[in-house]
Amino acid sequence: MIATEKKVFARTPVLFPQITHYCPGCGHGIVHRLVAEALEHYGVQQRAVCVAPVGCSVLAYKYIAVDAVEAAHGRAPAVATGLKRARPDLFVFTYQGDGDLAAIGTAEIIHAANRGENISVVFVNNAVYGMTGGQMAPTTLLGQKTTTTPQGRSEVNEGPPVKVCELLASMDAPSYVARVTVNKPAAVRKARQAIITAFGRQVSGKGFSLVEVLSPCPTYWRLPPPKAMEAVENWMMKTFPLGVFKNKEAADAKIAQS
Amino acid sequence: MSRIEIAAELCKACELCISVCPNECIEQSDTLNRYGVFPMRMRADARCTACTLCATICPDTAIEVYRTVEEKAPAEKAATESEQAAVSSELPSPAAQVSSNQEAAS
Amino acid sequence: MSKPNRVLMSGNDAVVEGAIRGGVDCYFGYPITPQNEVIAGMAARLPPLGKVFLQSESELAAISMVHGAAAAGKRAMTTSSSPGISLMQEGISYLAGSRLPAVIVNVQRGGPGLGNIAPAQGDYFQATRGGGNGDYQTIVLAPDSAQELMDFTAQAFDLAEQYRTPVLILSDGRLGQMMEPVELRDPPRRPPVPKPWALTGADGRPQQVVCSLHLPIPELAAHNRVLQAVYREIERREQRAESYHTSGAKLVFVAYGACARLCREAVDYLRKEGLAAGMLRPITLWPFPKKKLQTAVQSAAVLVVVEMSAGQMIEDVRLSVGDKLPIEFVGRTGGEAPTVKELIQFGRRLLKKYATSRRGRRR
């Protein structure tokens, strides 16, 4: 008998060999890897530009090995619009958190989506403002305690959490809008597929795509990482169901068939 | 045996890998890395199947997975194949076996 | 000899013409009075030239779109008016901190707040002191005619790229709306500056990052020293002003933009009466033309600063000349402006008062 060894899981070269500043168990690291693998999948890393947000992932460009520009808080979709209109041959994606995209950047994401900008948006939703120390986010769940909702988020005072995928899916222009999670390996593989699908829309010039990734924040949920992953499923997903909310290509195919 | 390699200087000891491994292959090392973390490592006696669940969930992409496939060596393979051919030539063909069974039954 | 190609156009139209001649690649903007002719002109003329035009959802978005296009190495610009420029302050600070070239035109209107749509010069502080956070400057140009609006906009892109910094053109509602003959001409070009920093994709080269974030303290301190060095160089090389009959003048008006036009006429009238009046017109508001001002007032007994504001540029005038001579002020807000007649009468009174006293004695 001879034994042959094959490497079946390798770290993609589109990630710098660099430890990240993210907390242990933070979902950002997983999403960074999926983004890097999707860029590698299409071979676009050499013409890609990442628009980095303000938030925990402000230093995303230290980890994802592509050109990058930092945007003002919330303005990443506008910066991406400027980049893509100026250089349509570049692969332009934004990487944003829930404060960046759904609070201060609400206008920019809605209008970039509405214009059907041929960009890809990776939206990491962990229901809290991590970088600034755990304040309420637009996606904070009802009853969730944060430093600015010490009694728990109340519908009467703060309103319910904002559901970005549902909001954007109501528009005509977006090509692909999906919500996934990375709380267990099977989910990570589905998330990878969704990001690859989304990036594929830009590569084939099919317009705007957004993937919302439900992600844990062990630090501000005050849970150890494995428990935080469980909480994504048995707590976060109750408010934010997974699914594909808009898929223009599938819809077009259906129409073509009928 | 299949195995994993965990980059000690990338691991943050979040223990997600431990929580997903179906075979309890991972334990915490007792050597500090430069960030003051006791990183994870594969157990010496681990029965790893290279399922890659740990690498898939690792937020730091600190794990690489090596699958070991046991194959027969070419000489062994040929010997086994000729053995199998010899054995099957001694046996009646399935069709012949069925008709002889039917004959025996009637 | 060929006739110059002169066309009657508004100052706002001249901005569009200048942008095209200056090689604009991308225009992003949001409507606001009194500069809507600019965005309409860009919408009509840029796409047929294969250039990018997009009306953004707000001024906040517009300046960020400029940021993106500039990061890709393209010539990007936006225009707005005072309240919209206020919204862009964060974006301008980011452009300056990221060392991105860009052109921004402010067609000033009455303030503060929503104000009105009449012309004003109330954004001088915002433009020259930097309305955004941090230690930065933008080059500020002050045209006084449709011709200069065209010429300065055309030149602004080269200037911005040479120093890798945003250039702000301070126009106002009066200059923007009035119609004047403009000679259509290309600007004198500066030598092109390569852009190795532009984001073009990490193809066979290391990653480029355009950012203003430098978390480690020594890094940000060093970055600021680089910015300051650039600003010192701009101050050394780019001060511009027009000296109008300042040699031997006893009274020197100091004014820019629309006010300079009024003062120029007042100077002409006073000189016809045999009075020694002149005007120093700053063309760059930042860097403020200190040296030219100091030279212009050598024989002066009094300065008259004229602004459509409550007094902003006057501070730079005081900083430049100190207490060497009295500085009088004519200011109007809300869209009001002094008349030429008022300036002449004031000039005569001042010359009587100051020109008979001994030079250098403080009043």
Question: Rounded to a whole number, what is the distance in Å from the CA of A196 to chain C's nearest CA?
Answer: 20
| Domain C243-354 bears CATH identifier 3.40.50.920 | yes
Taking a C-beta distance cutoff of 8 angstroms, is the pair A64, A58 a contact? no
Asked whether the predicted pLDDT for residue A231 surpasses 90, the reply is yes
Map out the domains of chain B as residue ranges.
Answer: 1-94
Q: C34 and C109 in contact (C-beta within 8 Å)? A: yes
Report whether A129 contacts A136 (CB < 8 A). yes
| Phi and psi, residue A25, nearest 5° | 85, 0
A120 has which bridge partners?
A93, A209
CA C100 vs CA A194, A210, C75, C91, C225: distances in Å: 35, 28, 10, 11, 17
Task: Please state which CATH number belongs to domain B1-94.
Answer: 3.30.70.20
What pairing do the DSSP bridges indicate for beta strands B63-71 and B3-6? antiparallel
Position C326: which residue type? P
Nearest to C64 among A48, A65, A72 (CB): A72
Res C363: pLDDT: 45
Backbone angles phi, psi at C26, to 5 degrees: -140, 135
Which chains share 3+ C-beta pairs under 8 angstroms with B?
Answer: A
Q: What is the pLDDT of residue A251?
A: 80
Phi-psi region of A149 (alpha: psi -120 to 50; beta: other; left: phi over 0): beta
Determine the average pLDDT of the residues in B35-50: 96
pLDDT in tens, C68-95: 999 999 999 999 999 999 999 999 999 9
Give residues with Cβ within 8 angstroms of C83, minimum separation 6: C32, C109, C111, C113, C114, C115
Phi, psi of C214 (to 5 degrees): -135, 90
% of chain A at pLDDT higher than 90: 95
Q: Which CATH architecture has domain A28-257?
A: 3-Layer(aba) Sandwich (3.40)
C222 C-beta neighbours (distance < 10 Å), count? 11
In a 3-state reduction of DSSP, which class is residue A86? helix
Task: Say if C43 is an interface residue toward chain A (CB within 8 Å).
Answer: no
Distance in Å, alpha carbon of B3 to nearest chain A alpha carbon: 9
Both tokens assigned to C130: 């930097």
Residue C200: C-alpha distances to residues A47, A87, A138, A200, C68 (Å): 7, 8, 34, 20, 12
- The pLDDT of B32-61, averaged and rounded, is 97
Q: Does C243-354 match C6-237 at the fold level?
A: yes
pTM to 2 decimal places: 0.90
Rounded Cα–Cα distance for residues A139 and A109 (Å)? 15
Q: How many CB pairs under 8 A join A and B?
A: 97
A127 sits in the region (left: phi over 0; alpha: psi -120 to 50; else beta) called left
- CA nearest B21 in A: which residue? A185
pLDDT tens digits along A134-159: 999 999 999 999 999 999 999 999 99
Residues of chain B contacting A185 with CB distance shorter than 8 Å:
20, 52-53, 56-57
- Contact of C28 with chain A, judged by CB distance below 8 Å, is answered with yes
Residues C265 and C250: their CA atoms lie apart, in Å, by: 17
Q: In a 3-state reduction of DSSP, which class is residue A245?
A: strand
Determine the Cα–Cα distance for residues C322 and C360; give it in Å rounded to an integer: 12
**Contact criterion met (CB < 8 Å) for C207 and A52:** no
**CA trace torsion A21, A26, A27, A29 (10° rounding):** 30
Q: In chain C, what are the domain boundaries?
A: 6-237, 243-354
Query: Chain centroid to CA C13: how far?
Result: 17
Residue ranges, chain C, pLDDT below 50: 358, 360-363
Residue C211 contacts A where some CB pair is shorter than 8 Å: yes
pLDDT digits (tens, 9 = 90+) for A172-228: 999 999 999 999 999 999 999 999 999 999 999 999 999 999 999 999 999 999 999
Q: Where are the domains of chain A?
A: 28-257
Q: Residue B14 and residue A22: Cβ atoms within 8 Å?
A: no
pLDDT exceeds 80 at position A170: yes
C240-243 contacts, C-beta under 8 A, 24 or more apart: C240/C282, C240/C283, C240/C284, C240/C289, C241/C280, C241/C281, C241/C282, C241/C283, C241/C284, C241/C289, C241/C292, C241/C293, C241/C296, C242/C279, C242/C280, C242/C281, C242/C283, C243/C278, C243/C280, C243/C281, C243/C292, C243/C295, C243/C296
The predicted pLDDT at position B89 comes to: 73
Nearest residue to C164 via CA among C234, C106, C236 = C234
| CA atoms C339, C182, C43, C195: torsion sign | negative
C55 interfacial to chain A (CB closer than 8 Å): no
ipTM of model: 0.94
Task: Return the residue of A nearest to B22 by Cα.
Answer: A185
Going by their DSSP bridges, the two strands C76-80 and C102-108 should be labelled as parallel
What CATH number does the domain located at C6-237 have? 3.40.50.970
Across the interface, whether the CB atoms of A82 and C70 are under 8 A apart is answered: yes
The answer to whether A201 touches A168, Cβ cutoff 8 Å, is no
Nearest CA in chain B to A36: B61
Chains C and A touch (3+ CB pairs under 8 A): yes
Name the packing angle between helices A28-42 and A185-203 (round to 10°): 40
Residue B47 has pLDDT above 80, yes or no: yes
Interface of B with A in 13-72 (CB under 8 A): 13-16, 18-20, 35, 50, 52-53, 55-61, 63-72
Confidence of residue A5 (pLDDT cuts 50, 70, 90): very high
**pLDDT of the residue at B73:** 77
- Token digits for A117? 């900008």
Helix (H) or strand (E) holding C44: helix C36-45
Within 8 A of B10 by CB-CB distance, chain A residues are 19
pLDDT at B57 over 70: yes
Q: What's the CA gap between C6 and C22, in Å, rounded?
A: 18
